[in-house]
Amino acid sequence: MDWGIENRLSRIIKPETGRSVMLAVDHGYFMGPTHRLEEPRKTIEPLLPYADALMLTRGVLRTSVDPKASVPIVLRVSGGASIVGKDLTNEQLTTSIRAAIRLNIAAVAMSIFVGSEHEHQTLTNLGKLVSDAEDYGIPVLAVTAVGKELEKRDSRYLALSCRVAAEIGAHFVKTYYCDDFEKVVRGCPVPLVVAGGPKLETEMDAFQLAHDAIGQGAVGVDMGRNIWQSDHPVAMIRAIREIVHEEASVREAKEVFEEAKKTSEPVLAKMSAR
Ligand code: R5P
């Protein structure tokens, strides 16, 4: 692998464990001011010390992250649709590779919508992004987005999407956890990280998801809502780190969460203190 790509990837997927806890805060690019991400800086700042990488758009990076921060940036460079528009899958590349390089990013990310009306457009855009990014030694994360069609969250569909992304040249892939997840991992020759998806009922559910995904071969998580929509986001990310990097069980992660809760301020108090 190209030295630059390998070097940048190793800033995200930590060589010590071969794993990564990526913090996803890119939701506003199609969801607007999502619950508990209304003021991105307030959400991001307390979590930064615990994130191996931060996934976001250039707008939130420039307005809401201190340029002195050393966290590797995975920059979302696709968009062009919103939750109130006609079709969430109608995305194009929204940020050039030149603009991404200026922001000193570690990787770029874009969504592909396999099986949708815009399958062809998003897949050929992925090919273009990979070719452009490789010219500069920058790795590409393909996001196997499913949009509103959550029924597609099965191993057959996700294995297809992940494999297609890898074949086009993505250097790592973000997907969803599903039953028979091993099948998705087996068919994908590049590292996989899992999204958390909409907030689950309990913290234990999120720990279980991370634990099962790691146990079945994911190299980490790229998690958003299950961390920052929690009443205790810092405790959440610390517990998730234990699972990803320390092989903690779900019960051990819960213990870490309960312990960390004692020392971290609940989010409700913090957000209302303006
Ligand atoms: C979706 O495509 C967005 O890129 C999010 O980054 C992704 O869904 C991960 O966040 P969450 O864990 O909230 O699903």
What six digits make up the tokens of 135? 């010219």
DSSP 8-class letter at 200 = P
Burial class (CB in 10 A: 0-12, 13-18, 19+), 108: buried
* All residues at 6 or more sequence positions from 184 whose CB lies less than 8 Å from its CB, including other chains: 155, 158, 159, 162, 175, 178, 192
From the candidates 14, 174, 254, 261, which is the catalytic residue?
A: 174
Structural domain boundaries of the chain? 3-199
Ligand 1 neighbours by CB, cut-off 6 Å:
24, 26-27, 55, 111, 143, 145, 195-197, 222-226
What six digits make up the tokens of 29? 């690019």
Average pLDDT of every residue of the chain: 94
Q: Number of helices and strands (H, E) in the chain?
A: 13, 10
Determine the average pLDDT of the residues in 199-208: 97
Catalytic residue status for 174: yes
pLDDT tens column, 55-111: 999 999 999 999 999 999 999 999 999 999 999 999 999 999 999 999 999 999 999
Determine the average pLDDT of the residues in 221-242: 98
Percent of the chain with pLDDT over 70: 95
Determine the average pLDDT of the residues in 157-172: 97
Gap between the Cα atoms of 215 and 135, Å rounded: 35
**Residue 26 alpha carbon to ligand 1 centre in Å:** 7
Residue 25 Cα: closest atom of ligand 1: 6
Residue 199 Cα: closest atom of ligand 1: 13
Determine the average pLDDT of the residues in 118-131: 97
CATH number of 3-199: 3.20.20.70
pLDDT at 271 over 60: no
